[in-house]
Structure 1
Amino acid sequence: MRSTRFSKGALVAATTALVLLPAGAAYAGSGPATGPSQKLTRTSAPSPEGNPASKRAQASGVCDDAVQIGERALIKRGSETLASVKQFYSKKCHENYAYLWVWESFRKTAEPYDVTLGVYSYDDDSVHAAKAWKATKQQEFWSEGANTVEACTSAVGSLRPAGSPQAYQAFSQKRC
Structure 2
Amino acid sequence: MLKKISATALAAAAIAMTFTGAAHAETNPKCSSGVTQIGSTKYLKHGSETVASLKQFKGCNKNWAYVYIWDAWKAKHPSNHIRAGIWTRTSDGAVDYAGHDGTKQELWSYGANTLNVCTYAAGNVFGSGYSASGSTDERC
Q: Write the distance in 2 (CA, Å) between the matches of 1:128 and 1:50.
A: 25
Q: Which residue of 1 aligns with 2:33?
A: 64
Q: Which amino acid counterpart does residue 99 of structure 1 have in structure 2?
A: Y
State percent identity of aligned pairs: 29
Q: What residue number does 2:121 align with?
A: 155
> 2: distance between equivalents of 1:131 and 1:155?
12
2: CA distance, partners of 1:48 / 1:139: 10
Gaps of at least 5 residues in structure 2 are 1-21
Q: 1:50/1:99 Cα in 2 relative to 1: closer, same or farther (>3 Å)?
A: farther
User: Tell me, what secondary structure is at the counterpart of 2:73?
Assistant: helix
State the superposition RMSD in angstroms: 1.7
Q: Which runs of 4+ in 1 moved over 3 A?
A: none
Query: Relative to total residues, which structure has the larger strand share, 1 or 2?
Result: 2
The 5-angstrom pairing of residues 117-136 of structure 1 reads 117-134=84-101, 136=102
Contact kept? 2:65, 2:85, Cα under 8 Å: yes
**Alignment CA distance shift 1:50-1:123 (3 Å):** farther
Could you say which residue in structure 2 is the equivalent of 1:139?
105
How far apart are 1:64 and its partner, in Å?
Answer: 2.5
- C-alpha deviation, 1:123, in angstroms: 2.9
- Structure 1 position 104 matched with structure 2 position 68: no
The answer on 1:168 being equivalent to 2:132 is: yes
TM-score (norm 1): 0.62
Greater Rg over alpha carbons, structure:
1
